[in-house]
Every structure is written in structure tokens, then in C-alpha cells.
Chain A
Amino acid sequence: MSAIAVLAALGGNTPSIPAPHIEYGRLSPMLVVFGAAVAGILVEAFVPRRHRYWTQVPLALAGLAGAFVAVVVLAAQGRAPHLELLAMESVAMDGPALFLQGVILLVAVVAVLTYAERRLEPKAGGLPADAFAAQGAATPGGEQERAAVRAGFTTTEVFPLTMFAVGGMLLFPAANDLLTMFVALEVFSLPLYLLCALARRRRLLSQEAAVKYFLLGSFASAFFLFGTALLYGYAGSVKLGDIADVVSGKAMSTPAQLSSTQSDVLLLTGLGLLAVGLLFKVAAVPFHAWTPDVYQGAPTPVTGFMAAATKVAAFGALLRLFYVAFPGLKLDWRPVMWGVAILTMVVGAVLAVTQQDVKRLLAYSSIAHAGFILTGVIALDRQGVSSVLFYLAAYSFVTLGAFAVVTLVRDSKGEATHLSSWAGLGRRSPLVAGVFALFLLAFAGIPLTSGFTGKFAVFQAAAAGGATPLVVVGVLSSAVAAFFYIRVIVLMFFSDPQPGGPTVAIPSAFTATAIGVGVLVTLGLGLLPQYFLELASKASLFAY
């Protein structure tokens, strides 16, 4: 943007605008994903309907795999400022960004596998059906919808929509200025709003979830944008590094018309509004109200993707904001974040105890986990970053696996998510109930699972950072959370199955692979965490 400033200074008489230098090769993970998304749109336009599914699924998987290879290659190239600050310093492909992008891409691969599942729903119009509405625009229960179901339509648009969301999520933790961060936020949020509305069963709930998510999400991003505007007024730039310089007093940039007291108002209000926008996305209390409704109403494969990948991307951006732009202001934001972390852990854990629906239970559990991750964010050192990175990687695969298991337990009306219908599941299907129990134990943080390693890492970082009371609250709310996870396990294994209760559907290889990956990662990060802890530790340095 400095070129523009020069242009303004010269009064518009300059003959040409120098083209910005864009490092396409270093930005390739995002470009590959966006390219695959655009190709997916073209497939929707030009490929006959009956071939679309088998075109979209390989295309999405290939795009994600290609982007993951690009991330690995970039990570192997080593570190240097000119390799990390890209596109006029608006994107930082540094250690945390590459680590989180790798996690998001692997999560997205698993999520696309659960999207592609077509054996669970009964056939519609003689063709296999997936978890998504036959035609999103058709009114539920109307003639148009019946016709669409008879014709065996499926909404294959979910694949390009997901790819756009993944592209935005890749950019979000790498965004090095507030404008890029805002655009990335919208790029991954808008497709998610649409995906929420596309459930095949219980379409009213699904549409209601989409409306709630959209209205509250756009409300939160308006806060983020106003915060951006105020910080631009304070620092004269939206680059995180420039803002940090002005905060620490290395550069003076507040305009003369605004006195010094006013500039403090700009800074603190701006930071507060930005934090509201980001804390909404990570579902921290008091900005969590949307989470249970949206998680319950959205199609379950989408819920799994959203619960895992959004959290990874949003915590990446939150880390970068606090660690790159505002370390000099830690005396101001840390007490507030302490309060938010404590509230989030306690409210998430306590409200989860009262839930009767599996998806809502997992939603409240995700709120509690956001609180645990926030304790690592508050540490404000490299150990804090590496512990948060590790926790996010561990948590996202457990979440995906748990929601994939939820898609398997079904009765005649679709998924049976009420907890009472899960009673005795361990007797009907010991394997599925055992896998779900493993995920619940990982959520609870029982040793030998990834959840334990992650929780230990964030609490250790928080304690080392001087936040011992926070760790005490964290351990206590973990104990409350363990109660309701264990309650579900007891319900599954030690109570009698209801007559006429749900059955466990046999999935195709897609969902089986997704659950298998979840189990492998959960056990792998629990039994042999050392390699991944070192990887997270090596990746924990921000570039600025």
C-alpha cells in the first residue's frame, strides 16, 4: 500500500502504478485450493448431473492433496523473512501459518470423505443419496422438493463451497494485515452459512441454523471491520507489524487532530472490537450463543468440518493478532482474556452437563475446549504458541471422528441424536460405541489419548506464563467435563437398549476411512506425541 501513499503524495501526476510483487509459488497452497473450487463451479455448470458426484469428489480431494504437498514443500524450504512475508507483506507464510494450513487441509480431506458418504441415506429416485438436500432452493415438503427427490438430485455444490471455505481458512491464520484477515474471514464464513442450510433431513432446523449463523456471524464481522477502521485511525496502517510499532512507541502515526487520549480510545476500542469478531468465530463465552443451534441444525458432516476447521483457522488468526500486533499491550488485554477463558471453560462444561442431544453436547464441549485453548493463547510465549498448535491438531481430528460416528446412528427419521436413543448402543454395536467412547475419552483428556497431551501442553504453557489460577479453573472444569463424557459412555455400555431404538448403519469406505483416521490420530498423538510436539515447537515462531 506504500505505493498508493506515494501516489497520493505526488497528487496523482505519476505516470504509472508499479505492479505489486506477488510470490505465486509461495502462495500456492491457497491458489491450488481456490483453483480447485473454481473448477468445481465449472463442473456444476458443464458436467451432466449424473456424472457430477464422481467428478467433484476426486477434484476436491486432488485439490486438497495438492495444496498439502505444497505446504510440505514450503515448510521444507526453511525460513527467511523474504520467504515468509509475501504479497506486499499482507500474507505471512511462517511456521504457525504453515502448520495450521497443513492441519486444515488434512481436516478438509477427512471432511470431504464424510461429505461423499452415500450409503447411509435410503436411495432417492433409484439413485444413492447423501446427507445434503436434493435441491437447496426447493421449499421443504413442497411439490418442487418431491420432484427433485424423485429425480434423484443431489447438491454436489457442497464440494466447491467447501473448497472456497477451506481457501479462506488457509488465508485466515496467514493474514498479516487486518484487511486480508477480514476478507479471509468472510471468504470462509459465507460458504459455511450456505452449507448449514443444506441438510436433507430436518430441513427447517437446518434453515433456522443457517439464518442464526448468518445474522450473528455478519454481526460479529461488522464488529471486526469497525475495529479495523479504528486501528487504522490509530496506527495509520492495517499491517500487524506497523500497528505493533506504533503500540510500542517505535513509530508515531496518530494524526495531529486526534489528541493522545483519543488515540488510546481508538486503540483499546479497536482491539476490543477485533477480539469480539474473532472470539465469536472460536465460540468463546459470551459470544457462544450460536454454537449449539448451528451445530445441531447443520448437516452433520458440515458440523464436523465447521467444528474442526473453523476453530483451527480462527485460533490461528487470534494468535497472530495477539502475538504479532499487540504484545506491547498485554497488560490491557490479558486480564480480559483471563475472564473470557474462565467463563468459556466453566459455562461450556456446566451447560454441557444438562444437554440431551448428542450434537448439542458436542457443541458445548467444543465451547469448553475453546476455553482450554485460550489458556494457551494467554501464555504469550513460544511454548504457548506450540501448545495451541498441538491442541488444535489433536482436537480437530477427535471432533471430526466424533461427528462422523454421529452420522452412523440412525432410525427411520434419519440420525438419532437424542441421548436416550443411544442407550445400550455398546450392546448393539460394540465397535462403533467403542470408537465413540475413545473420542469421548480424548475430549475428556484421559492419558494415552491426544486430548491428554494437548491439555497437558496448554496448561503447562499457561502455568509457565504465570497463569496458575487459570490452570486450576481449567483442571476443575475438565473434571466437570469428564463427568458428562463418562456419563455418555456409561449410557452406551451399561444400560439396556430401547426397543425400537436406532440401528448402526454400515458406512461405505468414505466414512469408515474418516473415522479410522480420527482413531489413528487420536491414539498416535496420545501414545507417540514427541515428534508432533517437536514439529509444533519448531513451527511456533511468527514472522514480522
Chain B
Amino acid sequence: MNPVNYLYLAALLFTIGAAGVLVRRNAIVLFMCVELMLNASNLALVTFSRLHGTLDGQVIAFFTMVVAAAEVVVGLAIIVSIFRTRHSASVDDSNLMKL
């Protein structure tokens, strides 16, 4: 199979993730959409690595996974703390500050 198809898949996943961040309301779902975007980047990196015949892209994908794991730690801590305060993870409820 032509590896370029994986690039289209990566672009599609990235778009789904970005659209999800923009239209969904639950902080956890938003966060999962961001993770989907990171994984779409990983897929693109690995595919390009294959196309170029170098391993750089695969190594970068490992770095991305570590960064994503660190982001989960920080992100869930923040989301859980605000959930315990408000009993809601909807980003629409976070409206104390307005223009």
C-alpha cells in the first residue's frame, strides 16, 4: 500500500481532533481531542520516517509520547481539581471571567 495514504489518515485524525476541541464542551473530551492531535502527528512522523528512510521521525514520535504523558499528568490534575470544586467538567461553566 502506498505509504502516502497514512499521511491523509494523519491529516484526517488531526482535523477530527482540532474540530473536537472547537465543538465539544467537556474538558476531558477536549483533552482527549488534543491527545488525538498529538497522535496524528506521531502517525505523520512515522510515515515520513518511512518515506525518507531515516529513523529521526520514529525517535521524535517517542519524544512526543513522553511529552504527552507529562501533559496528561498536569492536565488531569488541573481538570480534577476544578471538577472537585464545581462538580462539573464542562468548559461552559468556566465563565467567571468575561470580557
Which residues of A are in contact with B by a Cβ distance under 8 Å? 1, 4-5, 7-9, 136-137, 139-140, 179, 182-183, 186, 190, 193-194, 197, 203-205, 207-212, 214-215, 218-219, 222-223, 225-226, 228-230, 232-233, 236-238, 253, 255, 257-258, 292-293, 296-297, 351, 354
Contacts and interface: CB of A to CB of B under 8 A. Distances in A.
Contacts of B44: 226, 229-230, 233
A183 B67 contact: yes
Interface residues of B, number: 52
Contacts of B16: none
A179 B7 contact: no
27 contacts: A7-B55, A139-B81, A183-B63, A190-B71, A194-B74, A194-B77, A197-B81, A205-B96, A207-B81, A208-B82, A208-B94, A209-B97, A211-B79, A214-B79, A218-B71, A219-B21, A222-B14, A228-B45, A232-B45, A232-B48, A233-B44, A233-B51, A238-B56, A255-B48, A255-B51, A258-B4, A293-B97
Contact of A218 (B40, B63, B75, B85): B75
A193 B27 CA distance: 15
A140 B34 contact: no
Nearest to B57: A232
A177 to B, nearest CB: 10
Q: Interface majority SS on B: helix, strand, loop or mixed?
A: helix
Contacts of A205: 96-97
Interface in B31-83: 31, 34, 37-38, 40-42, 44-45, 47-49, 51-57, 59-60, 63-64, 67, 70-71, 74-75, 77-79, 81-82
A257 B3 CA distance: 9
B96 A5 contact: no
A229 B75 contact: no
Nearest to B36: A222
Contacts of B96: 204-205, 208
A183 B64 CA distance: 8
A288 to B, nearest CB: 12
A157 B54 CA distance: 42
Contacts of A204: 85-86, 96
A222 B55 contact: no
Contacts, number: 153
Nearest to B7: A233
B12 interface: no
Given A204-B96, A232-B56, A292-B97, A190 B3 contact: no
Nearest to B38: A222
Interface string B80-99: 01101110000100101101
B85 A236 contact: no
Contacts of A222: 14, 17-18, 34, 37-38, 41
A394 B38 CA distance: 36
B75 A214 contact: yes
B97 A257 contact: no
A232 B7 CA distance: 13
A179 B49 CA distance: 14
Nearest to B72: A218
Nearest to A269: B11
B1 to A, nearest CB: 12
A136 B31 CA distance: 21
A142 to B, nearest CB: 8
Contact of B41 (A197, A212, A226): A226
Given A1-B59, A215-B31, A225-B37, 15 more contacts: A4-B56, A183-B63, A190-B74, A193-B75, A218-B31, A222-B38, A225-B38, A225-B41, A229-B41, A232-B48, A232-B49, A232-B57, A255-B48, A255-B52, A293-B97
A258 B41 CA distance: 18
A257 B85 contact: no
A8 B10 CA distance: 24
Contact of A207 (B14, B49, B71, B85): B85
A136 B82 CA distance: 11
Closest 10 CB pairs of A and B: A222-B37, A233-B48, A229-B44, A255-B51, A225-B41, A208-B94, A207-B82, A4-B55, A293-B97, A236-B52
Contacts of B45: 228-229, 232
A229 B71 contact: no
A205 B86 CA distance: 12
A11 to B, nearest CB: 12
Nearest to A7: B55
Contacts of A140: 85
A354 B53 CA distance: 56
B38 A137 contact: no
B54 A8 contact: yes
B71 A186 contact: yes
A162 B54 CA distance: 37
A4 B47 CA distance: 17
